[in-house]
Amino acid sequence: MTAPARAGGTIGAAGIVVLGLVCQEVGAGLAVLLFPETGPVGMVTLRLVFSAAVLLAVFRPSFRGRSRADWLTVLGFGLVLALMNALFYLALDRLPLGPTVTIEYLGPLVLSVVIARRASAWLWAVLALAGVALLARGGFDALDPLGVLFALGAGAMWVGYILLSARTGRRWARLDGLAVAMAVGGLGALPFGIASAGEAFLDLRILAIGLGVALLSSAIPYGLELLALRRLPADTFSILLSLAPALAAAAGFVVLHQRLEVWDVVAIALVVVASMGAVRAANRRRLGPEAEAMP
């Protein structure tokens, strides 16, 4: 393969990752539109249940020969997945989409800083905190303090998601573990979702939108990520994921008509840059001296 061909493949794979992120954020925006009828917990339930149904149908995981450790891992993964999504949607009920994703992103960003084990990596953490402080320049009460706590909780669960996702991937082939974990999360959320949404779950329009949210937020992005990872280095993939807060702000503006001030845009940009720097530092730590020569 020639250098131009490799470059074209990399650019195409990067575009696939960005497309997956756009789908996720548009899905989150559509979910917010249903909150008045289903509530955040009801919407989480629809997303998890429909996502599980799609993933189970596509990957058809095998349950034979599974060890106790396999099941404990996937059960833990499912519970963390459900909590992460529930806290995220509860935050979205009180905060705009852009700031919610920005605050949530502090979780994986801190994990990258810890993995890096470099003093310089903490500079990225300081930059990210500066961005969040800028978002709350009028005081966190301007953002709704409970919404901020929900977003921070979602970020903490995101760290658990990353760690358990890696462990699940080592024990279950392809996305089999994710499909089972999604089913566990959906079943765990179902009683709370029914209590929250009630008869709304009998409305075919709401169910159709819930299916659309599940496809946009889970099934399509996961499939696109698998496709991209075949042609894209893991470190580049991780850096591209750092664009999530900026794309969330754009989706909030387009789908929900949530306007951001100039300083909000600057704050989100600071967190995106800090996340990219922290991910790069963590990848250098994992790859060793060879990574120091990377451009």
Q: pTM of the prediction?
A: 0.83
Per-residue pLDDT in tens (0 to 9) along the chain, 295 residues:
444 444 455 567 788 888 988 999 999 999 999 999 999 999 999 999 999 999 999 888 888 888 999 999 999 999 999 999 999 999 999 999 988 998 998 888 887 777 767 777 778 878 888 888 777 765 555 688 899 999 999 999 988 888 888 888 888 876 788 899 999 999 999 999 999 998 899 999 999 999 999 999 988 888 787 677 667 776 677 777 788 888 888 989 898 888 878 888 888 888 888 888 877 776 665 444 333 333 3
Handedness of CA 168, 172, 178, 182 (dihedral sign): negative
Residue 238 has what pLDDT? 72
Residue 295 has what pLDDT? 32
**Where do we find the tokens 């409970």?**
146
Contact criterion met (CB below 8 Å) for 121 and 281:
yes
**Within 13 A of 38's CA, how many CA atoms are on the CB side?**
31
Domain segments of the chain as ranges? 12-293
DSSP string, 70-121: HHHHHHHHHHHHHHHHHHHHHHHTTS-HHHHHHHHTHHHHHHHHHHHT-TTH
Residue 57's CB: how many other CB atoms inside 10 A? 10
Contact criterion met (CB below 8 Å) for 35 and 111:
no
DSSP label of 232: S
Residue 138 has what pLDDT? 57
